[in-house]
Structure 1
Amino acid sequence: MCPVEGEDGGLCRGQAFCSKWEAGMATFCKPFTKAAVKYFDHANIEDARAWIQEA
C-alpha cells in the first residue's frame, strides 16, 4: 500500500505513482539490510505470497 496521501484523503494518488514509489523504496533499502528485499507489483500478489512462503 502506498503511504502517500491523495487529495481525496485516500492513501494513493494513482497506481503508477505508488508502484514507482514502492519499487524505488525496495531498491533504496537493499544496501542497508541483510534481509531479502523484493518489490512485487499489486498485480503479482500471488507471486509475492509464494516468495514469503519460501523464506
Structure 2
Amino acid sequence: MTSDIIAIWAGMLGLAYLAGAGLYFETAGKRSRVSASHDFGHHARLRPVKIRHLR
C-alpha cells in the first residue's frame, strides 16, 4: 500500500516538474524576443531633470 502511494506521489511530482519547466521555457522564449530598447525586465534609466529658468 505505501509503495503505491509513493509511486503516485512521485508521478505527480514528476508531472509538476515537467509543467513548471515547460512554463519556464515558454516565458523565457517570449522574453528573448522583446527588444532591449524597451527596458523590459531591466530597471529604467534615470533621466536628468530638466529645470526651466524663469526670466
Higher relative contact order (CA 8 A, sep 6+): 1
Greater C-alpha Rg: 2
Common fold by TM > 0.5: no
Q: Under a length normalisation based on structure 1, what TM-score does the superposition of the two structures give?
A: 0.34
